[in-house]
Chains A and B, each alone.
Chain A
């Protein structure tokens, strides 16, 4: 008994700097059992078994490491948590927008990580630590929910027009979410300095409330709201 099969069509952005002058879209077809659904990443892995020159990043394959962010049918997302059946064919795969392409679906994320590093994404507290843990009430801890879960996949920042136009100046949704994660932490003592570093017209205020970040975040986080909170804090501080 042979299983009924179907063909899934793909168009994938290809660019290898050693041979290509400019990028192009390459067609692929994958034959899979009719009834079987799978994650997009699994399909790309199968394509790679057929054409080993295709390059992309992947690691955890369950949506927590943030490696396989890409532009899927025009929308940023993680291949590993996107069901094939949810996509219109031909499935068009491109690298994350706005970042230099190293090869195929692999982008250079340097500027993205620089913006992240800029917000000093670590707890600052120069008081000598207690012998045990610093206490934090469940209510104080709850303020970090929706902030600390970011996986740095860059789906948000690379879908943000403000980040496209000013990637060196606008921190971008991912970085700003982390900025607020530390502003909101009851254990952090550097709130004032953190806020002072964000008062210029670019770092935070390039956000125009386009909300593409909220639309694409694979973890369901809301950078727009976090940016709103930062703005409120800035206004309250009277900067």
Chain B
């Protein structure tokens, strides 16, 4: 089968914050770039980010990027790569100023500088007082950021392949790396081969492996699935952040900025329970800490019961209507819509909800994908990049700090774009064989040729339920093993699943089937990695191994799709400009 071929210098898959920042860096250089996105760019999940983007501007108090670095390393429970964290925190201010210059409508302080608010896990002077480091555009920072980046790309006339779905990587004829990707125009249903010197994955998260998630419906781990099928490893994929404040029942996110602005959590006795769990930082402890505390409260019977859902409440009413309307207007809107509660008058019912994938495709601090072979040998894949949530660069380690994901997106999206720009003339356009193209098309062909089988939605439902029940805030080996067994069965069933509508034009059930392949791959990787790490660290909290075990597990886990094998990879403890931060006990 001859596929139509389009050739570019670089293709970027995903048009969220990371993909669009990378595209912008490249478009400004005059390179031929294709920005491929399965949704119109401003529909990407970055749009839902609320609270802000963290970096040490020092607008509210004297600040230092090293303090931000310290907090991030500590927040990561010490398995974040310190060279990457250093880079992110150091260039952060410059990258945020660039966004401001592009027109991002940040909220302002009285002196006209960018407004910064306190967020969880932030400290001054390496663990001192609470800092206010998160730059915000009210509580719509992600929206403001994503639209600004789209607008800049519009100005730079980036080629956007809007509503194109990437299927799989195509291996190069010589076996060295990848020559491009197969992508499908959703509108026509036709597949093409996108041939390029460089490929940047910016496909975002996969929170839809869980039943209850703050993630958009499009967060289906497409990059993770593609990477695993291409034989690439994924790293620290057991690390899933549960955000403390998802609206009970709806899963919609309520920003940590609410607590930054002075809100706090209460149990059914009206008690501000975080004072017991984190006497110093209280409600602004790290997210893993708060989510665990909430789960313990609910377990102890201290939760409210709202239509059968057990939850705690986020109290904001004491902040006053004016502050809520100016700093948290979007939260008020969401709370009224999804919880039927006006936070000016009543607290919002919340539960810990799956929010963020700390793990992903391992990369170095330029965004270059690192392959780890069976013997643990590492190799940088020239021309292949991963940025944003789908990547594990790794700045978040075992637990991401609030406000660090937007920073991650723009810092590493930009870094990858700049790196490609520099190398583009040296990167070859690799040749392909029919066999490799056919291999990359085989998945689509399998779906298209199956007329009868179990439905996609049924398998997806069971997978999400399994993940929710067995891989949540608290985990045990026994339950996880049961969960893994179930997932392996589901994977078998998925091989024979089918959709009934086989038309081409805008066939979203076809897309959903392809997405489920990616979700399943991510779920399986998560399950294997979670069973593998026999300790508790950051978001990975095992009741059968309640302690952190630095002797054995101060390391990344690496999942290899082939044979579902696990291995480890050393954490980078060598920042370039400062002394490394050594692991300490993590208290807030």
Contact = CB atoms under 8 A, between A and B. Distances in A.
A and B touch in the complex (CB under 8 A): yes
Interface of A: 16-19, 48-49, 52-53, 55-67, 81, 102-104, 106, 109, 113, 117, 120-123, 125, 129, 131-138, 140-141, 144-145, 148-149, 151-152, 182, 185, 187-188, 220
Interface stretch (B95-103, B167-175, B389-397): B95-103
Contact of B114 (A17, A64, A67, A133): A133
Contact of B338 (A53, A62, A123, A148): A62
Interface in B486-517: 499-501, 503-509, 512
A18 B502 CA distance: 10
11 contacts: A60-B43, A60-B47, A62-B338, A65-B48, A113-B40, A121-B154, A122-B154, A129-B101, A135-B113, A137-B108, A151-B42
A136 B455 CA distance: 54
Contacts of B101: 123, 125, 129, 133-134
A65 B47 contact: yes
Main secondary structure of the interface of A (DSSP, over half): loop
Given A61-B217, A122-B154, A123-B103, A55 B144 contact: no
A148 B147 contact: yes
B105 A185 contact: yes
A53 B509 contact: yes
Contacts of A19: 503
Contacts of A64: 47-48, 140, 143, 330
B445 to A, nearest CB: 19
A22 to B, nearest CB: 15
Contacts of A125: 101
Interface string B87-120: 0000000000100111101111111111000000
B105 A122 contact: no
B14 to A, nearest CB: 13
B460 to A, nearest CB: 9
Interface in B111-143: 111-114, 137-138, 140, 143
A171 to B, nearest CB: 15
Given A53-B501, A59-B43, A134-B101, 20 more contacts: A18-B504, A53-B507, A55-B507, A56-B508, A57-B43, A59-B218, A60-B47, A62-B250, A62-B253, A104-B506, A121-B151, A133-B97, A133-B114, A137-B112, A138-B108, A144-B105, A145-B138, A148-B105, A151-B143, A188-B103
A129 B104 CA distance: 14
Give chain B's interface residue range (CB within 8 Å of chain A). Answer: 35 or more
Contacts of A60: 43, 45, 47-48, 216-217
A185 to B, nearest CB: 7
B503 A187 contact: no
B505 A123 contact: no
**Minimum-distance CB pairs A-B, first 10:** A123-B103, A135-B112, A53-B501, A52-B509, A122-B151, A49-B457, A103-B506, A65-B43, A129-B101, A133-B100
B380 to A, nearest CB: 33
Nearest to A46: B457
A186 B64 CA distance: 29
Nearest to B143: A64
Contacts of B192: none
B183 interface: no
Contacts of B250: 62
B271 interface: no
Nearest to A41: B217
B257 to A, nearest CB: 15
Contacts of B505: 16-18, 102-103
